Chains A and B, each alone.
Chain A
Amino acid sequence: MKRFRQHLLICGGTGCHAAGSLQVRKALEAEIKNQGLAEEVAVVETGCNGFCAMGPVMVVYPEGIFYVSLEEKDIPELVEEHLLKGRPVERLMYKEPASKEVIPDMLDIPFFAHQQLIALRNRGLLDAENIDEYIARDGYRALAKALTEMSPQDIVEEVKKSGLRGRGGGGFPTGLKWQFCQGTPGEHKYVLCNADEGDPGAFMDRSILEADPHSVLEGMTIAAKAIGANEGYIYCRAEYPLAVQRLEHAIVQAKEYGLLGKNILDTGFDFDLHVYQGAGAFVCGEETALMRSIEGKRGMPRPRPPFPAVKGLYDKPTVLNNVETWANVAPIILKGGDWYASIGTEGSKGTKVFALTGHVNNIGLVEVPMGTSLRTIIYDIGGGMPKKHRKFKAVQLGGPSGGCVPEQYLDLPCDYEEIIKAGAIMGSGGMIVMDDSTCMVDMARFFMEFVQDESCGKCTPCREGTRRMLQVLERICDGEGKAGDIELLEELAGMIKESALCGLGQTGPNPVLSTLRYFRDEYEAHIFDKKCPARTCVNLIEFRVDEDLCKKCGLCSKACPVGAITWEKKQPAVIDLDKCIKCKTCIDTCKFDAIV
């Protein structure tokens, strides 16, 4: 095979072709021949390299010089200077696209700048399936410290000092929970991880398990040492296959290294860990139901006390914490409780991970110090609303057990106490942002439907009460609400809150109560005016064009999938109700809210 000293790779993609690459190529070949280089230099036409905007483009190897926007008249100079004399022609080269300035520093981007990572400390930085990479980022050093330099009492004290509270939503002080269990006598004890994340819109735990499973394993093993447990379970929902796979992989690797199993790190301490897959019942995120489920029984809650710290899994003393809580343990042991307690607010220490979703630009996972305002999270980190003509309406916190927080509380610092004052809960960290196209009655109906569907049926208030509440809400959304419905909802909500057996029922009415607190007028508009102000509830929309608001642009007419909207230039659109299928495409399309 003939060897060339230089290869010219000229792009022959459609974009470059259109920009004249064929002529450039011909000129190149002619000039190369002209200069007597045909035996030394090869011209190769390649497929599109993607940089069509700068075409015709060419790469010269072996130097790898990238020429852009070539023209026929540039060729003689290029061949003589570069190919003959070896001096690349700078003026034709691709300019570093002012890149060093244009590309911002990661920490100058608001999305990252306002975050502080503890639970997510390794995100995007290591291979989740390689234990060595976790160790390289100081993984298992906290475990080594806990096993060799600390007594079980020291571990509990350090966690108490940190002020860490349960990140699953309850917010119970973690150190205290461990202390109770430590103080309960018993030969067999268990350490459990609640990875049954089920709130709509929440994906904090999944992300931690997928990105950094060893951080959970390490936290659990440290707790096992503190309370004297030798066995543990991670209860992960089967809908998280990647998380389950990476957890199981991580456990195998940790066992091979002797970081789990018998005689961990040669210290004589034994701890074994299993993954238990839940079948996807929301109620199994409740601690007593979760333990029932692991025991192989139907996952239903039981009254407390006795608390799990006294009588938990198989009636043995048990500590159960959520994934995010576990991920915080190793840094606390390594850097000290005082360090952790220096972050956050008076009553809520450290950071909190939120799953930011809904009507917000930067959907994703954020970890911020406790006390960061909702405004910072939604506007600075989240980048605000994606649709310019839509305004912020409310943010839903805490899933089906939580509530919504309206605009006047946007400067509220996010910590356990302040969020409760505003009528929501911290919950596990789901944060659903809603703009003014969201109907709050419909939102409450959605969450009630969820709770009613997931109610295990053991206690009457939750089983029957949530069903009645859902019926009332459906009636209101269908345009058949009656005077007295709001009062009925409030009465039912009060009863369910007081008498339901577990947290699912006790908190289930919260979305209804919080929307009633801030958006009672919207309920009244549905019931008395038969109107849905956000135009979500189909039965309460007239599907009529308001001629005063219509800007006669015709966009709705073009968008209508069934041709029900007629429009002529300079005339307001008209909807033919016989053809209309009430799909609301026109409402989504119209920027002037002219369809009522």
Chain B
Amino acid sequence: MAKIKISDLAKIKERVTEQTNLREGGAQIKVTVHMGTCGIASGARNVLKALMEELDKSGRKDIIVTTSGCVGLCSQEPIVTVERIGEEPIKYVFVDDPKMRQIFNQHALEGSVQSQWALAKGSEQ
């Protein structure tokens, strides 16, 4: 990686926004597993593993799987956020391996929100 200049900050922002935001013709779906210590302690690694397996099975290339930190609600970890293009992000709580597989197949792929496990829609900012 080369050293960046101040003008590069804006370029990186643009590039990342392009890559990580959902858009027509690019990524359609983004799944975030929240992996702070609290999430990992309550099983987020297994959730991520299940998610990667289901992603492999689906063969889809337009899905972003990413990790992030604690969202603050440590008592309801593991927490997973599913975003589909044009739809509000949904946060799921107390996710485990089978729930993750179902959430991926039913919601991420098919668009059917698994409201029985959903905490909320939208995001904090």
A: which residues have CB within 8 A of B? Answer: 48-51, 64, 66, 94, 96-99, 102-109, 111-112, 115, 117, 120-129, 132-133, 135-136, 138, 140-141, 144, 148, 203, 206-207, 210-212, 240, 242, 253, 256-259, 263, 265-266, 361-367
Contacts and interface: CB of A to CB of B under 8 A. Distances in A.
Given A265-B6, A364-B74, A126 B68 contact: yes
B27 interface: no
Interface string B79-100: 1010000000011000000110
Main secondary structure of the interface of A (DSSP, over half): loop
Given A112-B120, A365-B74, A124 B32 contact: yes
Contacts of A138: 13
Given A97-B113, A265-B6, A266-B6, A210 B73 contact: no
B61 to A, nearest CB: 17
Nearest to B107: A99
A102 B122 contact: no
A96 B69 contact: no
Given A99-B113, A132-B15, A211-B70, A257 B118 contact: no
B52 interface: no
Contacts of A64: 109-110
Contact of A109 (B13, B15, B70, B120): B120
A266 to B, nearest CB: 6
B71 A99 contact: no
B115 A206 contact: no
B96 to A, nearest CB: 10
A23 B123 CA distance: 44
Given A125-B125, A207-B38, 8 more contacts: A49-B102, A64-B109, A107-B124, A117-B125, A126-B69, A144-B9, A258-B3, A265-B6
Pairs A-B, 3 closest by C-beta atoms: A211-B69, A258-B3, A124-B71
A50 B99 contact: yes
Nearest to B34: A124
Contact of B81 (A124, A211, A212): A124
Given A97-B115, A99-B115, A364 B72 contact: yes
Nearest to A206: B37
25 contacts: A49-B102, A50-B99, A50-B102, A66-B112, A94-B112, A103-B113, A106-B121, A108-B120, A112-B124, A115-B72, A120-B72, A123-B72, A124-B71, A126-B69, A127-B67, A132-B16, A133-B20, A136-B12, A141-B9, A144-B6, A207-B37, A210-B36, A256-B3, A265-B4, A266-B6
Interface string B48-85: 00000000000000000011111111111001010000
A94 B102 CA distance: 14
Given A124-B81, A211-B36, A265 B5 contact: yes
A143 B99 CA distance: 42
Contacts of B5: 265-266
A105 B119 CA distance: 9
B74 A96 contact: no
Interface string B25-39: 000000010101110
Contacts of A125: 68, 123-125
Contacts of A51: 102, 106
Contact of B37 (A107, A123, A136, A210): A210
A96 B120 contact: no
A363 B74 contact: yes
A127 B68 contact: yes
A148 B66 CA distance: 34
B120 A105 contact: yes
B112 A96 contact: yes
A292 B123 CA distance: 43
Pick from B70, B79, B113 the residue with the most CB of A within 10 Å: B70
B69 A97 contact: no
B87 to A, nearest CB: 10
A109 B40 CA distance: 24
A242 B123 CA distance: 25
B101 A207 contact: no
Contacts of B121: 103-106
Contact of A123 (B12, B40, B70, B98): B70
Contacts of A212: 69
A203 B5 CA distance: 35
Contacts of B91: 106
A212 B95 CA distance: 23
A122 B66 CA distance: 15
Contacts of A136: 12-13, 16-17, 20
A208 to B, nearest CB: 8
Contacts of B98: 48, 50
A454 to B, nearest CB: 22
A127 B66 contact: yes
A543 to B, nearest CB: 32
Contact of B13 (A106, A135, A263): A135
A97 to B, nearest CB: 5
Contacts of A124: 32, 34, 68-72, 79, 81, 124
A210 B67 contact: no
